[in-house]
Chains A and B, each alone.
Chain A
Amino acid sequence: MKIIIIGNGISGITAARFIRKLSDYEITVLSYETDFFFSRTALMYIYMGHMRYEDTKPYEDWFWDKNKINLKNARVEHVDFTKKALTLSSGEKMSYDKLIIGTGSASNKFGWPGQDLERVYGMYSYQDLEAMEKYSEGLKRAVIVGGGLIGIEMAEMFHSRHIPVTLLVREEHYWNNVLPLEESKMVSRHIREHGLDLRLETELKEIHDNGKGEANAVTTNKGEKIECGFVGLTAGVHPNVQFLKKTDLEIDKGIVVNEFLETNMQDVYAIGDCAQLKSPKEGRRSIEAIWYTGKMMGETVAYNVCDRPVKYDPGIWFNSAKFLDIEYMVYGEVPTKIPDTMGTLYWEHPDGRKSIRINYDKNHGHVLGFNLMGVRYRHEVCEKWIKEKTNIENVLQHLGLANFDPEFYKQYDRKVVELYNEQTGKNLELKTKRGLAKVLSFLNR
């Protein structure tokens, strides 16, 4: 059995590793970005000098040979699904028995004038990083368009080299389309505290050409012109499936897959950022372009490819990120606008860089979600509480179980309980403090 995987990102590589565990199929992974799998999430750390490219590779180079996973640096130009054959940009042809597509994303461009100029880049691939590196020398200002998780990473990167940054963000507060108001205000404050020029409710209108095909300024929708030597486009990503658009493969925004991650073509699967679920779980999006889902899909598809059908189940939503110096974690339901049926308990530290939010169902009293800024909570514990529909008061009394901050760190769990008491007039007490032994017995219960 010949398996070909397009894309050596987290989804493709996870699929390859699990297929290897489950079978002795011949596995080939194709990619044109880098020879070996590296961690895309660590791109910023290379630029900032925290790590070298080598350090972002989760496996040593000999790992692949040893596990008989063939890696090939090549770009797939075309797939003939009926003949089960690929054409590479070199003209070489390859045939497969089963094909897994994990081609990831590409940065969004919304038809802005000047978006294809030189010195205008997204921040997705290793090549984007090289471009940033190339243009950083002598750079006087960078303008970053779009305020999501990647935008702030790009801003932090330039900031680390003392290059002034202007961030153009459409929302009223940073990432307000995902974060609840208080948290998003906190992030906005923190960005400014670092001395970054954050322009809220501001959009890009045009990128100017310096006459040599390079960007040298932008104009905003407020009519202001900002001189800059680099424009970063970080207004989201979309599935990287352009090269498949002319085939019979069913593509909407991404490659449409069923719950077994199968496409409409026989023996062809799609995973990771490029896959779009036909019927996502309730409350979930059809494309979730994040690391963890790519990993889970990779694992799931391996079972399906090896004829041990497993449905894709992303479990309870979780994610994490870091806004400059503020760590962010989320578990379960944390909507931007809290609906009427939802109770929310929000505690913020006076220093304005830490907060804990717990959402619960007002009618039935069970917890729905956790949103943490600058505080670490345990994944397994939060997940179990949400899954088992644990009552908010039970959760609050044992909140220490969730605390995952390092030893000796101050615990703020009691503050959250006090807040609840204040809001409801109850008299709950924090019964369980931080500690692994209690957590283990809780998890085994």
Chain B
Amino acid sequence: MNIFNKVGLALFVVALAIFTLSLGLDGYTFKQSKLEVDEIHRNSILEAIQNQDIEGKKFSNSFDYIHALRKMFEEATTIQEEKAKTGIPEDLQEWQFNLSKDKVNNYVLSIVKSTGDGIVSNNKVLFWWLTIGLGIIGGLIYIIPTFFKIPGIKNDHIYHRSMQKGLNLSIRGFFLGATIIGILLYGVFYMNKNWFWPAVTLVISGIIIALVLFRRNEKEHEPTKSASPPDVTGWLGVITGIYLIGFYILLYWVPEYIVPWIQIADPLKQLIVGTNADRWFLYGMLYTVIVLTMGIRMIAKYWHNKYQILRTISVMFFQTCFAFLIPEILSKLNMPSMDLKNIWPLNYSFFFDYNISNLIQSGGFGIFLLVWGTLLALVGVPVFVYFFGKRWYCSWVCGCGGLAETLGDPYRQLSDKSLRAWKYERFIVHGVLAFAVIMTILTLYTYFSGASRIIGLDSYSVRTWYGFLIGSAFAGVVGTGFYPLMGNRVWCRFGCPLAAYLGLVQRFKSKFRITTNGSQCISCGNCSTYCEMGIDVRWYAQRGQDIVRASCVGCGICSAVCPRGVLRLENASGDIDDRAEELRAVHISEDEVRLLS
């Protein structure tokens, strides 16, 4: 580490510490006047406030405060329910009249946000600079010297670093198991104690495990290329993973605890749109800042590689403009805001009734968005994949891919290359695609017919469960939280329904493949190690076989790290089946020979 690295790292650590601590710095004073609630709920809430005697009360930390608020709302809910018994206004449904759980969550969040009193909420701009700003500066100082190094591959010491070397198989197993169980248990609660969908998910998981381990005899195949040998555990990576997982849990399910962070985002939102931030703005801001900063790191690391530079600039651009700025500007202009590059089924709510109605009602531009989104999914995807492979989206445009290729780059070596993992991958990712398609069909059926039940399935609860399980838990908690545990493309590889769809086209009808340079491969394994999708690239390269794999996102890193110049990403349809044939004889041509595999 040189002096730049040290200073940069120190600044970054300070920024991260302030960022984390900022959650606990503020106190709160409850003020009835800040209450923003629906008229029908107001009286019950006021009554509860009186009974609990919290008006004007000071709280030194968010835990006590949120606890008191929740207690108050519990009472308000009961009061409202009592009122419902004596009759509800004609024009309201019972669920609108009652204080639902979602409503309470929203009220709590908005009250916490408007009643903060302390150093962070009074110095939002300063804190933006002390956390986000300082983090960016520290990061850049750390990165800059890399631009001046002799051009070449810079992977030294990756497996010596606690942050990057990955973890022991049993600890990884523990994290996976705990996460799945935790998500399913929380899911029961999330679905209002309806255990049906969590139970279905559990059964399907069981079936997949059984199919992989028992039907395919995988049990005896102790996975060697799991990226998790017994004696390696990088604790810094594990801690980072826990931090990220924690972040997503707070963001998705208990945002009232991260109110100071949302407040730190206020000034920027004011600047762009003129309103205060919500948690999604906070998330978008962090996401963009991280993609940009870590994008610069990626560019510095691959300063000698034009493919990597262009690709990284592309994801930085699409994240900043399409995912972050354009939707904000559209909403400022009172237009339906949408991330124009977020394609169904990754954008799973695109065909939800409220989205369709919303788009249709907002006139010309809304209709354009509807047609745009539909065409992109049904025509754009297959056509572009045919010509360029799925990389045009996954490693040039997509936001999840963008984060994986920038923030996630230091962890790409942790993907599991065992055959067993590949088997899991195929079941799970295609399972998610099937789930997304079924859910969308049910939703559209409800939209057109008005009936919410089809063959005993309630399209609303399917949708809620999908949003929870796939949209939040898989894509966020596991997708990003597992970067330091299982590599940077866990979501893209195992979970993304769009990746599965793109992959099917790539596998069966595309010009894209990775060609191997004759017999130049020395089986060293750099390509496989650094393939974030867990493709055992060497398996193909060492036998001179072109690589046509559904999961390859065309990041080009295998080609970059190969010390013998063996791999090249190319588009051309000629001979593709022949050259990707399993046994393209290496030296002596022999047609009938076949290896038991």
Contacts and interface: CB of A to CB of B under 8 A. Distances in A.
A160 B596 contact: no
A125 interface: no
Contacts of A49: 155-161
Interface string B575-588: 10000000000111
Given A48-B156, A408-B306, A299 B586 contact: yes
A21 B595 contact: yes
Contacts of A310: 588
B115 interface: no
Contacts of A291: 522-523
Residue of B522, B528, B538, B565 most packed against chain A (CB within 10 A): B565
B565 A329 contact: yes
Interface stretch (A25-33, A56-64, A338-346): A56-64
Interface in B142-164: 150-153, 155-161
A320 B520 contact: yes
Contact of A436 (B517, B570, B588): B570
Given A54-B225, A436-B572, A39 B525 contact: yes
B596 A10 contact: no
Contacts of A441: 574
B104 to A, nearest CB: 50
Interface in A170-208: 193-194
Interface string A17-44: 1101110000000000000000101100
B572 A409 contact: no
Interface in A41-73: 41-42, 45, 48-52, 54-58, 60-62, 66-67
A55 B595 contact: no
A325 B569 CA distance: 21
A282 to B, nearest CB: 20
A444 interface: yes
A62 B151 contact: no
Residue of B229, B232, B572 most packed against chain A (CB within 10 A): B572
A230 interface: no
B517 A404 contact: yes
B593 interface: yes
Given A21-B594, A160-B156, A300-B587, A435 B572 contact: yes
Contacts of B539: 58
A138 interface: no
Contacts of B153: 325
B224 A295 contact: no
B586 A295 contact: yes
Nearest to B155: A50
A418 to B, nearest CB: 22
Contacts of B310: 408
B574 A440 contact: yes
Contacts of A193: 150
B307 A408 contact: yes
A324 to B, nearest CB: 7
A151 B432 CA distance: 51
B224 A437 contact: no
B341 interface: no
Contacts of A41: 522-524
Contact of B556 (A39, A194, A406): A406
Interface stretch (A243-251, A253-261, A375-383, A419-427): A375-383
Given A54-B229, A58-B523, A404 B565 contact: yes
A409 B307 contact: yes
A50 B593 CA distance: 35
Interface in A92-109: none
A62 B588 contact: no
Could you tell me the dominant secondary structure of chain B's interface residues?
loop
A285 interface: no
Nearest to B559: A406
Nearest to A299: B587
B515 interface: yes
Contacts of B571: 436
A60 B422 CA distance: 13
A439 to B, nearest CB: 8
A55 B565 contact: no
A364 interface: no
B572 A437 contact: yes
Contact of B525 (A10, A42, A194, A324): A42
Contacts of B71: none
Nearest to B571: A436
Nearest to A58: B523
Nearest to A308: B590
Interface in A390-437: 404-410, 435-437
A380 B518 contact: yes
B229 A52 contact: yes
B565 A327 contact: yes
Interface in B508-535: 515, 517-520, 522-526, 528-529
Contacts of B524: 39, 41-42, 45, 51, 56
Interface string A245-280: 000000000000000000000000000000000000
Nearest to B519: A292
Residue of A315, A325, A329 most packed against chain B (CB within 10 A): A325
A347 interface: no
Nearest to B230: A54
A17 to B, nearest CB: 7
A383 B587 CA distance: 13
Contact of B221 (A18, A62, A295, A407): A62
Given A45-B526, A404-B565, A67 B150 contact: no
A295 B587 contact: yes
Contacts of A57: 224-225, 525
Contacts of B305: 406
A20 B525 contact: no
A289 interface: no
B42 interface: no
Contacts of B158: 49-50
Contact of A39 (B221, B224, B522, B572): B522
Nearest to B153: A325
Contacts of A39: 522-525
A225 interface: no
Contacts of A52: 159, 229, 232
A406 B560 contact: yes
Contacts of B596: 20, 66-67
Interface of B: 150-153, 155-161, 220-225, 229, 232, 305-307, 310, 418-419, 515, 517-520, 522-526, 528-529, 538-539, 542, 556, 559-560, 563-565, 568-575, 586-588, 593-596
Given A49-B161, A327-B563, 9 more contacts: A22-B593, A45-B526, A48-B156, A58-B542, A67-B596, A320-B522, A406-B306, A406-B568, A407-B569
Task: State the 9 A-B residue pairs at the shortest beta-carbon distance, nearest first.
Answer: A379-B518, A325-B152, A376-B565, A440-B574, A436-B572, A42-B524, A60-B224, A437-B572, A408-B306
5 contacts: A55-B528, A60-B223, A300-B588, A329-B565, A408-B307
Interface of A: 10, 17-18, 20-22, 39, 41-42, 45, 48-52, 54-58, 60-62, 66-67, 160, 193-194, 291-292, 295-296, 299-300, 303, 310, 315, 318, 320-322, 324-325, 327, 329, 353, 376, 378-380, 383, 404-410, 435-437, 440-441, 444
